[in-house]
Structure 1
């Protein structure tokens, strides 16, 4: 996984006193008019928005395949590195477009149960859900069965 810039999770529109780092819970959101009115955005937010790729171009995760959840996580972590001034809520608000099928259902249920959460919290949940024992075993077996041998001609 790519390293994350220090403190990127706190660079969002919420006040410091509204963030509970231990639970990674965000209590206050911007009003709808603040999302729609570009005048309420800071210069750095406007610049970050110019560099943020459309959510439709993000990697999709349907729960099938190998490392696709890690591909999505690495992509989002990369966004925080490439666009350091990007507010965390711009990423978490677009997560629903990256999930398809069962992960989409899981995401919707998690959001209903836990409310608005920041990217580090979602990252942990995705890893815990999709990097389970079965997934790790399948990856280990695929590597063990895919060995190169000098004795065997390709």
Structure 2
């Protein structure tokens, strides 16, 4: 009957909320663990310094060596670990909020691995792809070399403007949970990411309440009747 079905849906949705929170916590722990692992694994030992110096001298004698390779060798001793290109995030400019994740990931690299700002700026040409690549090339041509903090400002100005906020707000408001159509975990995380990107200072409890209101009257009432707080 309707009451039994609604109760089942409420229990299912609450279970997905709890799983999503655990998954987020585990995901953050996995990222931190990976960073710590590669930092320890690739730490430059003191005894390798003379070898690095000889390599630099040898590279300087190779007239046909690329400028980018010389730059990497020149800066290699300045930070704890030089992530390979495939370990860096890319940015296409085509997602709903992937500019936020792009900036956060690079900021984490910079902080955890002590990567110099000038090295990050030099990497950007390889990290922008698709439509964002065209935008970057035009900005680089018009403004020349800039620090990563200035590039962050440009990225936010381009992809987190009033038009983006209006569009994201509409996406969130128009998303109504349908137990027959939506996968609870995917739907919940999608709305949570949308809400968090718009309201970075909002508490997690308030974000959960905003999402719960979008689940339909019967489902919301059933969850609250069970004494379960979102």
TM range (shorter): 0.5 to 0.7
Q: 2:170 aligns with which of 134, 141, 149?
A: 141
Match of 1:73 in 2: 103
TM-score (norm 2): 0.45
Structure 1 stretches lacking a partner, 5+ long: 1-31
Aligned equivalents of 1:62, 1:42: Cα separation in 2: 28
Would you say the 8 A contact 1:66–1:139 is kept in 2?
A: yes
Which structure has the larger Rg over C-alpha atoms?
Answer: 2
In the alignment, is residue 35 of structure 1 matched against residue 102 of structure 2?
A: no
**Higher normalized contact order (CA 8 Å, seq sep 6+, divided by chain length):** 1
Alpha-carbon contact 2:89-2:106 (below 8 Å) kept: no
TM-score (norm 1): 0.64
Superposed, 1:26-105 pairs within 5 Å as 32=67, 35=71, 38=73, 41=75, 43=77, 45=78, 47-48=79-80, 51-84=81-114, 86-105=115-134
Q: Which residue number corresponds to residue 119 of structure 1?
A: 148
Count of residues paired in the alignment: 115
CA distance in 1, matches of 2:218, 2:142: 55
Which contiguous aligned blocks of 4+ residues in structure 1 show a shift greater than 6 angstroms? Answer: none
| Structure-2 change in CA distance of 1:42 and 1:131 (3 Å) | closer
| Structure 2 partner of 1:7 | none
